[in-house]
Amino acid sequence: MANDKDISTLLQGLLSDKSDGEKEVEPVVRKSPKASNTNGLPSWFKLSKFGQQIADEIEGYIAENDPILLIGGTGMGKTVILEMIARKLKRESVGFNCYTGMDISQLIGMHLPTGTDELIEWQDGVLTDGIRRGLIIRIEEYTRANPELKSRLFGILDSRNRSWNLFEAGISHIAVPKETVIVASANPTGNGYVGTMREDKASMSRFAGVLTIDEPLADEEHALLDTLGDTATVERILNFATECRKDRNTYLSTRDLHFFSKAIKRGTDPKRACETVLMPKYEGNDSAILTQAKAFFEEFDIPNLETVVEESV
């Protein structure tokens, strides 16, 4: 059985999106390692029924190199499903995170010193490099993107006669391989997501499809059992999540449940786990979460739970 560190590492990779407000452009290039099953997903990850539907739809768009926009709350699995589809299609992908006030020169490119004779030369940014090489380009937090960046992307998002200019380098046009495809993802506007902006018609019309992610993409029972190894405990957590999710203001993400389960596994009292893992993220609705938690966890058998923890490590 995998140890606790291995499980934690695997699940954090599965359940993490870029954190809100991230301030650095950190390109991550994914090649195409062998997948462990036909879905291109690791064996310990299983798509929910909704997740399979979304995965099939995304794969169809990417296979035809059509740009798509995914809109959904943080921690629902948008990032990982894109990476897994790229693996299945044996395509390379590159991703970056947008934020208000970002300097797009990091993405487009800039003149940099060569290190010899005080000369400078043009160096492509991560976006330009991805365009030149025909990669799947994952743009995360798209609704936070600099308007200038969105305007520059119109030439790539167009269905025909795609173009990309590098006026900064004195180049009016570079060839865009047909394989180049944009897959943008974003949190919905409002609902506690600060800095997001509504897309105008000119921007939205360039996407071949706009998919709303309003349910978990992962089979949460499968994932949480991998963390806790105890069916009864996982059932309580999922029932608790179901009640919280009846109100959109307290819609717990898959990532929320992952961290909550890890706290429970460490032997943290469920009330304390709510106070430290969940409630700070839902300001103004924290009492509603605690009320729901009491209905499911106030009679938790902690000694038995500790036995479960010891046996599952």
* CA pair distance 179, 182, nearest whole angstrom: 10
Residue 180, CB half-sphere, CA atoms under 13 Å: how many? 25
For residue 178, the SS3 value is: coil
The structure's pTM equals: 0.75
**Residue pair 247/266 in contact by the 8 Å Cβ criterion:** no
Q: Do both 54 and 179 map to the same domain? A: yes
Q: Do both 162 and 256 map to the same domain? A: no
For residue 108, the SS3 value is: helix
Residue 57 lies in a domain: yes
Torsion sign over Cα 167, 173, 176, 182 = positive
Of the residues 190, 213, 236, the one at which a domain ends: 213
For 241, the domain range is 220-312
How would you write the pLDDT of the chain (313 residues) with one tens digit per residue? 444 444 444 444 444 444 444 444 444 444 433 344 555 555 567 899 999 999 999 999 999 999 999 998 888 888 888 888 998 899 999 999 998 888 899 899 998 887 777 788 899 999 999 999 999 999 998 988 888 898 889 889 887 778 898 888 888 888 899 999 999 998 876 554 444 445 667 788 889 999 999 899 999 999 999 889 899 999 999 999 999 999 988 999 999 999 999 999 999 999 999 999 999 998 899 999 999 998 898 654 444 444 443 443 3
* CA pair distance 262, 1, nearest whole angstrom: 17
Q: Do both 256 and 274 map to the same domain? A: yes
What is the predicted pLDDT for the residue at 167?
Answer: 87
Q: Do both 197 and 251 map to the same domain? A: no
Q: Do both 250 and 174 map to the same domain? A: no
**Residue pair 58/83 in contact by the 8 Å Cβ criterion:** no
Domain count, the chain: 2
Residue 82 lies in a domain: yes
Residue 111, CB half-sphere, CA atoms under 13 Å: how many? 8
